[in-house]
Amino acid sequence: MTEHESCRELLQGLSAYIDNEASENICREIERHLEECDNCRIMLDTTRKTISLYQTIDRADQMPSGIEERLLKTLHIDDAWPGTGDDASIETS
């Protein structure tokens, strides 16, 4: 197998490896290849970093206050939380 083919195989298995879903055999092959191939090690590290950067910005995006209130009003249930015990059915029209 050429070096490029090994790198391509690693790329195809990269997601499963990152998610700990690759089989033991595949993990061993990937780790062996990573020891010899700097480029693929960088590919793995930068892909992990990419995911983690998106997770960080996503956690910072909270729903602005006011949206839930407007939503409950639109759905005509703004008086139902916290529980007021009204059993009237929901209007959705």
Tokens of 32: 């062996």
Alpha helix stretches (DSSP H) within the chain: 3-18, 24-36, 38-60, 67-74
Q: Which is nearer to other proteins, 35 or 68 (CB)?
A: 68
Shortest Å, Cβ 52 to other proteins: 9
The DSSP code for 80 is S
Query: 39 burial class (0-12, 13-18, 19+ CB within 10 angstroms)?
Result: exposed
Q: Which is nearer to other proteins, 23 or 50 (CB)?
A: 50
Q: Which residues bind other proteins (CB under 8 A)?
A: 2, 4-5, 7-8, 11-12, 14-16, 18, 39, 42-43, 45-47, 49-51, 53-58, 61-64, 67-68, 70-72, 74-75, 77, 80-81, 83-90, 92
